[in-house]
Amino acid sequence: MRYVDRQLSHALLHAAKNFPAVVLTGPRRAGKTALLRRLQPAADYYLFEDPDIIARFRADPQGFLEGVRLPAIFDEIQNVPEVFNFVRSRIDRAPRRTGQWFLTGSQEAALMRGVSESMAGRAAVLELLPMSLAETAKVNLLDGGYPEVLARPRARRLWFSSYLQTYIERDVRSITAIRDLATFRRFFALVASRHGSVLNKTDLAAPLGMSVPAIGNWLDILEATAQVLMVQPYFDNLGKRIIKSPKVYISDSGLACHLLGIESRGELERSPFLGAIVEGFVASEIIKAQVNAGDRRQLFYFRDQQGLEVDFVVPGKQGGVSLIEVKATRSVKPAMAQSLLRLAAAWKERAGGGKVEKVVVHREGRGAPSTTALAPGVKAVTIPDFVAEASRPRRAKTRSTA
């Protein structure tokens, strides 16, 4: 598979022009190293998972950095968090020199702790997720978006098995002292079986014989390492009793299928999880569009205790909002717009309510039009068209640690 240009490139280059350091987070094997080495081909490269590199740095930090030619890429920096203090001192010697340090890490919680403590105001923070459908048409429900799976889809099962083993043995162990890794793997599979559901920690704790606080800690690990998406409920003054627990999704649809034992497109089509996997795929694509533009994540769902539910709510400009329903079907019907219309009506009753966009997102059907007017003010859009619209180039933004 040839190199695919990543949409985050624009935000990353913009950050490099304005900050001495750029911190790139994201899950393992999402393509962080490939992206940086593509954009900074002349940069010195150091992998801080290499025992020799770690030993050399810890033996003589100042001497090690004296031998570094800038710009430099420090990969998987969370393994040696003390690097931040030394890099900070180097930045402070020449604070106006931008694009000098590129730091990556697979564990955002551990990484960001070091960044916030040592690099405030000195670094822009960006996140790279697996590939989006907007970046390559190879991204799909069964394979997901990890570059290596897309390059060799026939090795999908072996790749995901190896990925899980590496993730659990390296990332999970380095974050917390989990002794029973087999139970953690069962926990991960159990979370996958709740893909697209409202989170119930007690429901997860009981089969594993664990406490609810322990389950909460393990969910925090999955979220910190970008393995799950927690979509929070949308709170607003709509005069309704709102469900307050988040919905949980496995971040990558390919990994979700693997954890659920779905190994072919035929099995996926017959699976009772098809609707949830399609829904999670769209959620992931919305988040990818946001972070690839350098924006913060903004994705919610709505469900009240009277049964009104809308899959996703995305805040817009000037108090506006996008209401999104996701359907696994390839054909749509006007009845699918009813929840959108009901929530939109409640939204417009609010004082100062902005523009409300209403969209039903569905899978492609052969010979069917890609966009149709489903109901007054409601449009039906295929997943590829929806993703293309959500990923339209916007002015690059970056998060500073200040």
For the chain, helix (H) and strand (E) counts, in that order, are 17, 15
Output the pLDDT for position 11: 95
Rounded CA-CA distance 281/324 in Å is 13
- pLDDT tens for 165-209 read 988 887 787 777 677 788 899 999 999 999 999 999 999 999 999
Rounded CA-CA distance 368/359 in Å is 17
| Residue 401 backbone zone (phi > 0: left; psi -120 to 50: alpha; other: beta) | alpha
Q: How far apart, in Å, are the Cα atoms of 283 and each of 188, 262, 380?
A: 19, 20, 17
Cβ–Cβ < 8 Å for 74, 103: yes
The residue among 307, 304, 306, 299 whose CA lies nearest residue 323 is 299
Taking the model in full, what pTM does it have? 0.92
Output the pLDDT for position 173: 76
3-state secondary structure of 73: strand
Per the structure block, which two tokens stand in for 84? Answer: 């931040």
- 234: Cα within 13 Å, side-chain hemisphere: 24
Q: How far apart, in Å, are the Cα atoms of 97 and each of 101, 122, 155, 211?
A: 10, 11, 44, 50
Alpha helices in 71-131 (DSSP H): 83-93, 108-118
Rounded CA-CA distance 329/336 in Å is 11
Output the pLDDT for position 395: 47
- pLDDT tens for 24-58 read 999 989 999 999 999 999 999 999 999 999 999 99
Rounded CA-CA distance 381/275 in Å is 16
Rounded CA-CA distance 236/233 in Å is 10
Residue 101, beta-bridge partner list: 21, 72
What residue ranges define each of the domains in the chain, with the CATH number in brackets? Answer: 8-128 (3.40.50.300), 147-390 (1.10.10.10)
* In 60-155, beta strands by DSSP E: 72-75, 101-105, 123-127
Please state whether the peptide bond connecting residue 71 to the residue before it is cis, i.e. omega within 30 degrees of 0: yes
Residue-wise pLDDT tens for the chain (402 aa)? 688 999 999 999 999 999 999 999 999 899 999 999 999 999 999 999 999 999 999 999 999 999 999 999 999 988 888 898 899 999 999 989 999 999 998 766 556 666 766 777 889 999 999 999 999 999 999 999 999 999 999 999 999 999 999 888 877 877 776 777 888 999 999 999 999 999 999 999 999 999 999 999 999 989 988 999 999 998 765 656 677 899 999 999 999 999 999 999 999 999 999 999 999 999 999 999 999 998 989 999 998 888 889 999 999 877 789 999 999 999 899 999 999 999 988 877 664 567 899 999 999 987 666 668 888 999 999 999 999 999 886 544 555 554
